[in-house]
Amino acid sequence: MASITLFVGSVYGNAENLATQIQSHINAQGHHASIAEPPTMDSLKAAEHVLFVSSTTGQGDIPDGLFPLFLQMQAQLPMLTNKQVGVVALGDSSYGDTYCGAGRQIDALVKELKAKLPQPRLDVDAGEYFEPWEPVEPWLKSWLAAL
């Protein structure tokens, strides 16, 4: 079974709540999931598989709790060639160009770092889904099956 570390960027707690649901689901499937608190470069390097769950703040920015790790990844460029990575981006499409901006930035960076992405990034629109679990559950099942 797979070991998955979740890295969460949340502003108002929605991404944290979703990450907890994801963690419970993964563990119920017989895998092991943990949430990196705080998200650090050491926990990223130690992770077998990685799942980013992030909301977007400001003008498409990465939330404060995840931003230091993102900057370290940009600066240190740790190659992720041996890691399966997933990105779940939360946003609101009414914000136009900044919709899911944090998730798009994370997705671009992990691709640059040569991570394996068994599933394309999932963008969850708060304007369409009050509860993000609805679109996340089928995506997560496919992502887990591909590990």
Q: What is the pLDDT of residues 63-114, one digit of tens each?
A: 999 999 999 999 999 999 999 999 999 999 999 999 999 999 999 999 999 9
DSSP letter, residue 121: P
CATH of the domain at 112: 3.40.50.360
Please tell me whether residue 62 adopts helix, strand or coil conformation: coil
| pLDDT of 58 strictly over 90 | no
Give the predicted TM-score (pTM) of the model: 0.97
Q: Which domain holds residue 119?
A: 3-146
Based on its alpha-carbon atoms, the radius of gyration of the chain, rounded to whole angstroms, reads 14
Q: What is the pLDDT of residues 41-55, one digit of tens each?
A: 999 999 999 999 999
DSSP letter, residue 114: T
- Alpha helix locations (H) across 77-132? 101-112
Domain count for the chain: 1
